[in-house]
C-alpha cells in the first residue's frame, strides 16, 4: 500500500462536541481509522496507522542505544490515541488533546507529508513564519 501524502493548509472549527472535520480529500486515507499523537510542541499529529508505523520505525532506526529506543516507543505509545471517522468525516479530539495543543474551537490543519498537523491558529501563526525563515537557511547550507 502506498503511504498517503498530505499537503496544504485548512482552517476549520471544532463542533460543540469537540469533533474535527477531516478534509474530504484526505478521508479515504483514514477509512480504517487514524492515530492522533500529542506532538512535541503544542500541536497534534494525525497519522494513518501505516504512516505512524513508518514514522516510528524511522525514529527507532536513528536511536543509538536501547534506552533511546525504549523512550521513543514509550513516547509514541503513551501519547497517541486511535480515532475513527464518523459518517460525516469527523474525528473526536479529547479535552486532553485540545489542552495539549492549546485549541479552543478554531483549528488549522496543515499537511506534513506523512501526516496532518492540527494546530491552534495562534500557534500556527507563530510556527509558519519561523518555517519560512529556517527552511531557506537550511537549504542554503546544503547547496
**What local confidence, expressed as pLDDT, does residue 77 receive?**
93
Spatial distance between the Cα atoms of 69 and 130, rounded to a whole number of angstroms: 30
Q: Quick one: CA dihedral 6, 8, 9, 15, positive or negative?
A: negative
- Give the CA count within 13 Å in the CB-facing half-sphere of 71: 7
**What local confidence, expressed as pLDDT, does residue 3 receive?**
63
- The grid cell for 142 is 546544503
* Local confidence pLDDT in tens for the 143 residues of the chain: 456 789 999 999 999 999 999 999 999 999 999 999 999 889 999 999 999 999 999 999 999 999 999 999 999 999 999 999 999 999 999 999 999 999 999 999 999 999 999 999 999 999 999 988 988 888 887 55
**What local confidence, expressed as pLDDT, does residue 114 receive?**
92
Q: What is the DSSP letter of 6?
A: B
**What local confidence, expressed as pLDDT, does residue 119 receive?**
97
| 91 Cα distance to chain centroid | 13
- What residues pair up with 142 in beta bridges, in sequence order? none
Three-state DSSP at 101 gives coil
**What local confidence, expressed as pLDDT, does residue 1 receive?**
46
Amino acid at each position: 500500500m502506498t503511504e498517503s501524502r498530505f499537503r496544504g493548509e485548512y482552517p476549520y472549527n471544532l463542533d460543540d462536541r469537540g469533533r474535527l472535520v477531516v478534509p474530504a480529500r484526505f478521508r479515504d486515507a483514514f477509512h480504517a481509522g487514524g492515530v492522533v499523537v500529542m506532538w512535541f510542541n503544542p500541536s497534534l499529529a494525525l497519522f494513518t496507522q501505516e504512516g505512524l508505523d513508518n514514522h516510528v520505525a524511522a525514529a527507532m532506526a536513528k536511536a543509538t542505544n536501547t534506552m533511546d529506543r525504549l523512550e521513543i516507543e514509550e513516547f509514541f505509545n503513551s501519547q497517541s490515541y486511535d480515532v475513527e471517522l464518523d459518517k460525516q468525516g469527523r474525528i473526536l479530539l479529547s479535552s486532553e488533546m485540545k489542552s495539549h495543543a492549546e485549541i479552543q474551537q478554531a483549528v488549522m490543519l496543515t499537511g506534513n507529508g506523512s501526516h496532518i498537523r492540527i494546530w491552534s491558529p495562534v500557534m500556527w501563526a507563530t510556527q509558519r513564519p519561523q518555517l519560512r525563515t529556517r527552511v531557506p537557511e537550511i537549504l542554503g547550507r546544503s547547496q
